[in-house]
A and B are shown apart, each in its own frame.
Chain A
Amino acid sequence: MIDSIRRLGRSGCNALESLGRAGGFLFLSAFAVPSREGFGLWLRQMHFVGVLSLAIVLVSGLFIGMVLALQGYTILVEFGAEQALGQMVALSLLRELAPVVAALLFAGRAGSALTAEIGLMKATEQLSSMEMIGVDPLRRVVAPRLWAGFVALPLLTVGFSVVGIWGGYLVGVEWLGGFEGSYWGNMQSSVEFLEDVGNGMIKSMVFAVVVTWIAVFQGYDLIPTSEGISRATTRTVVYSSLAVLGLDFVLTVVMFGGLS
């Protein structure tokens, strides 16, 4: 009994301690003064985490938009409200689906790769040797990856929304024969820029920080063995998915919950 209380206390302390380490780590690396070649390093990482995630994010966006239109149409048509299809597709994507699904895909595609890459650099002593050369790995390795993630995910989310709305148009208008004018017209009159697009972007920026932070920290903090790397990669995907879904609920309550 006493033992289990002690274990509980210890695991609580450990969790707090690693949260503290993660916070210090984020502070030291994200706000490090960029070096001269920092921009080039950042651009390279933008390619790895952003451009290379483009395919999976855009294809998923297209399918989600198409499914959304198909499901929405069959329900809306029962009430003779199929002209609201554009509004429905656009609002679901902008407010919810694009930020959340893009972040989940990003965690799986880019986050796990970041963890594994940094973890392997740690396991092969590349981070240590960089320190001994007199280069701070937080600035040289971590900071460009963090900032690439911070910027890439919101951009990917925009792409996701655009392609999704186009996918909805393909199904709702081109295939099912809805009226094109009402698809776009209803969308234009109901989507508010700040309220919907803006809030969706804020969500996406929050997710970008959280997912990239988790991924990079898990890589930096792991135990440098093959088992350690595999565990950390798994943790990255699990923690970021849970964090994204949990935070999404909180943010939705704050942004849209209290509307009266």
Chain B
Amino acid sequence: MSDTPFVVVEGLHFSRGETEIFRGVDLQIPRGKMTAIMGPSGTGKTTLLKLIGGQLQPDAGRVLIEGEDIHALPRKALFTMRRRMGMLFQSGALFSDLSVFENVAFPLRVHTDLPEAMVRDLVLMKLEAVGLRGARDLMPAELSGGMTRRVALARAIALDPQLILYDEPFVGQDPISMGVLVQLIKRLNEALGLTSVVVSHDIKETLSIVDYVYVISDGEVMAHGTPKSLDVDQDPRVRQFVHGEPDGPVPFHYPAKEYFSDILDTGVSS
């Protein structure tokens, strides 16, 4: 049992309106490991997390979490399943009408009958783990971006989930809070034995902490392997992404008509 992957994505198809976002994505997220899903912006990485969390319905394909097809679950079972997952949103998504303490206490209050004293202890432990025990009385509006994400992390681990989904955890952070978050995610993952999925395009930070990487581009898995094997991958598309080259197989230009005729076109239709 412990060898089977925690999450299996099979032949996932998904489109938004006319745009096809995934054309048959297959992934396996191993248990107790950190797996990164990387790819250029706009490839639908966040969408993939929402599909894994059951917030969006795929057009075809399945997402199995511990063998259960999450999109076939009835609404109630789906919400029960989600108690075993935590998700760290890019914006933090703290409840703006609740204090830091109450935000972290929220999952405990709605899902458990613990006495107030124990809720308090648990919340303080989680806040201590992210180094924000002193900020418990602040409101979300008073926090910096990095602190918001750390509080959101404390809230995501409040119920000791087995699976954590990180949506762009490093985006828009200054170098110090980026370093703090990298260390925090790595330490928490090792200490709690979590299965983690990190969606990111911060190559250096992500590759330094994860065990396995999937690179997604154009709706398909372009490459996968350990961080080391990706670093020496010869596929030009993988090289361009991993080494951050501005132009290559992934063009610098958004598709447009030919430059010369576009410039000459006055915009007045004849």
Contact = CB atoms under 8 A, between A and B. Distances in A.
Interface in A124-138: 124-126, 128-136
Contacts of B93: 124-126, 128-129
Given A125-B89, A136-B79, A131 B55 contact: yes
B96 A124 contact: yes
Contacts, number: 57
A124 B86 CA distance: 17
Contacts of A130: 95
Given A125-B89, A126-B95, A132 B55 contact: yes
Interface in B70-97: 75, 79-83, 85-87, 89-91, 93-96
A124 B90 CA distance: 10
A135 B80 CA distance: 9
B107 interface: yes
A134 B82 CA distance: 5
B172 to A, nearest CB: 15
B95 A132 contact: no
A133 B96 contact: no
B110 interface: yes
A125 B49 CA distance: 14
Interface string A107-142: 000000000000001001110111111111000100
A48 to B, nearest CB: 11
Interface of A: 35, 37, 121, 124-126, 128-136, 140
Contacts of B90: 125
Interface in B112-170: 152, 155, 165
B89 A133 contact: no
A128 B82 contact: no
Nearest to A131: B55
Residue of A37, A131, A133 with most partner-chain B CB within 10 A: A133
Contacts of B16: none
Contacts of A124: 91, 93, 96
Contact of A132 (B80, B85, B109): B85
Given A133-B110, A134-B81, 20 more contacts: A35-B110, A37-B109, A37-B110, A121-B96, A125-B89, A125-B91, A125-B93, A126-B93, A128-B89, A129-B87, A129-B152, A131-B53, A131-B55, A132-B53, A132-B85, A134-B79, A134-B80, A134-B110, A134-B111, A140-B110
Contacts of A135: 79, 106, 110
Given A124-B96, A126-B96, A128-B55, A134 B83 contact: yes
A76 B107 CA distance: 65
Closest 8 CB pairs between A and B?
Answer: A129-B93, A125-B93, A132-B87, A134-B82, A134-B83, A125-B89, A134-B79, A133-B107
22 contacts: A35-B110, A37-B109, A124-B91, A124-B93, A124-B96, A125-B90, A125-B93, A129-B89, A129-B94, A130-B95, A131-B79, A132-B53, A132-B82, A132-B85, A133-B83, A133-B106, A133-B107, A133-B110, A134-B82, A135-B79, A136-B75, A140-B110
